[in-house]
């Protein structure tokens, strides 16, 4: 039984100490404390600045990308790329837990690469990464720097001059089967599932947490979700500050 009189950060710490196969399933909320707004907020800012009539889901859809690449890349480059962002205490603690052999996998809906920057190795990127970009014609790989430095709003391939598309999953595109398989396997084998910074509304990604078969689920999210009933522990404080507190407690053990 969990002692509900204890501070929730202490309970989370105890659960981490008792676990050997932790999986972290995260969303935009883990990166907001690194200065990266969630895409709906970013799109809202973009709409105000540009007086754009397009809703967020339309801007980041494959059909919109095909029809209006200039608008897509204007938004993408100005609001989705944050090269100055650095990992926060949540990213860093997860990387430490992996090094200690407690955390098996990070499953992220984010495309910012901050988990890898923090030192995490086993990261499953459900929605791709801004750091991978490929020519839609010849397939040539382009770095983020190459994409950003390409002349004109729409980036062009250095080899053939055709459009370079970020390796991110847009609305209307399917998740990679291998990525789904890796996610399902990791979650099914976990003994502690920590869900952080996600409203669990984006499908099919959100439904993947239903494969968890363990007894302990932690939800670190400011707002309620449709999956709250699955969580044995719900902490609504900012995830970065929560994980810093947990890290401080762990260092005393």
Compute the distance between CA of residue 149 and CA of residue 113 in angstroms, rounded to an integer.
19
100: CB partners within 8 A, 6+ apart: none
Cβ proximity of 164 and 142 under 8 Å:
yes
Q: Could you give the residue numbers annotated as active site?
A: 127
Alpha helices in 122-197 (DSSP H): 144-149, 177-189
Residue 195 φ then ψ, to 5° = -105, 120
Strands 233-235, 216-220: pairing is parallel
Distance of CA 128 to the CA centre of its chain: 9
SS3 category, 79: helix
Cβ proximity of 34 and 110 under 8 Å:
no
Compute the distance between CA of residue 139 and CA of residue 157 in angstroms, rounded to an integer.
9
Cβ proximity of 128 and 166 under 8 Å:
yes
Strands 128-135, 164-168: pairing is antiparallel
């Amino acid at each position: 039984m969990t002692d509900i009189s204890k501070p929730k950060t202490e309970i989370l710490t105890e659960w981490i100490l008792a676990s050997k196969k932790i999986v972290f399933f995260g969303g935009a909320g883990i990166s907001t404390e690194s200065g990266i707004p969630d895409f709906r907020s970013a799109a809202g800012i973009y709409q105000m600045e540009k007086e754009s009539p397009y809703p967020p889901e339309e801007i980041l859809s494959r059909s919109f990308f095909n029809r209006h690449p200039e608008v897509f890349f204007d938004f993408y480059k100005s609001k989705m790329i944050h090269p100055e962002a650095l990992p926060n205490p949540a990213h860093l603690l997860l990387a430490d837990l992996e090094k200690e052999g407690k955390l098996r996998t990070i499953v992220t809906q984010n495309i910012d690469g901050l988990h890898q920057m923090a030192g995490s190795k086993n990261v499953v990127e459900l929605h791709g990464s801004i750091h991978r970009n490929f020519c839609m014609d010849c397939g040539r790989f382009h770095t983020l720097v190459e994409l950003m430095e390409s002349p004109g709003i729409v980036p062009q391939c250095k080899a053939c001059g055709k459009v370079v598309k970020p390796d991110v999953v847009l609305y209307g595109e399917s998740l990679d089967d291998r990525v789904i398989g890796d996610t399902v396997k990791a979650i099914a084998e976990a003994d502690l599932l920590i869900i952080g910074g996600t409203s669990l509304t984006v499908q099919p990604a959100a439904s993947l947490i239903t494969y968890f078969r363990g007894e302990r689920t932690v939800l670190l999210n400011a707002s309620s979700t449709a999956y709250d009933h699955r969580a044995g522990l719900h902490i609504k404080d900012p995830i970065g500050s929560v994980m810093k507190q947990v890290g401080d407690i762990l260092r005393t053990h």
